[in-house]
Copies of this chain bind each other. A is one copy, B any other.
Amino acid sequence: MKTGSHHDSSIEQRLHGLRQRLTPQRLLIVSVLEENDAHITAEAIYERVREQYPYVNLSTIYRTLEWLKKLGLVTETDMGEGSVCYHWAEKGRHHHLVCQKCGRVVDMDESLPCSLKEALLQRYGFDVDLSHLAFFGRCESCQSQSD
């Protein structure tokens, strides 16, 4: 299933430029991720891809997500919900604060993690890859309550 040149997206061109193979499965997985504003699980991507490509295998989804992660095109976050979440990296870098009491998720921008990153580079010479962090704890409403 080779898309016509007039359908080629910029991501296809970029991947082609990086000498990466573009299989039908990969193109579909990438488009599901690009179209998805929220985080998405591997299982949900699998369901979406199967709509157009019924014989795709779940292990291919996982392998492709790993490949995209390695290329820096996707970020992966464990929100503590039992499955890891994925997010198209260009849809904005941010992080999360997950309340362990009520489950509320507060988004956090990059400024504080960037400060930490710079401090770690200074102190330890270590260059942290701040892809997509999730910190667990208690939100404002749940702090006064005990367990």
Contact = CB atoms under 8 A, between A and B. Distances in A.
For this complex, into which size category does the number of interface residues on chain A fall?
20 to 34
Contacts of A140: 124-126
A23 to B, nearest CB: 22
B112 A123 contact: yes
A120 B108 contact: yes
A139 to B, nearest CB: 6
A143 interface: yes
Which secondary structure characterizes the binding site on chain A? mixed
Contact of A119 (B112, B129, B130, B139): B112
Contact of A124 (B97, B115, B120): B97
B126 A138 contact: yes
Contacts of A106: 124, 126
Interface in A55-111: 70, 78, 97, 99-100, 106, 108
Contacts of A138: 126-127, 129
A128 interface: yes
A116 interface: yes
17 contacts: A97-B120, A97-B126, A99-B126, A100-B129, A106-B124, A112-B119, A112-B120, A112-B123, A115-B115, A115-B116, A116-B116, A125-B139, A126-B135, A126-B137, A126-B138, A126-B140, A127-B139
Contacts of A120: 97, 108, 112, 135
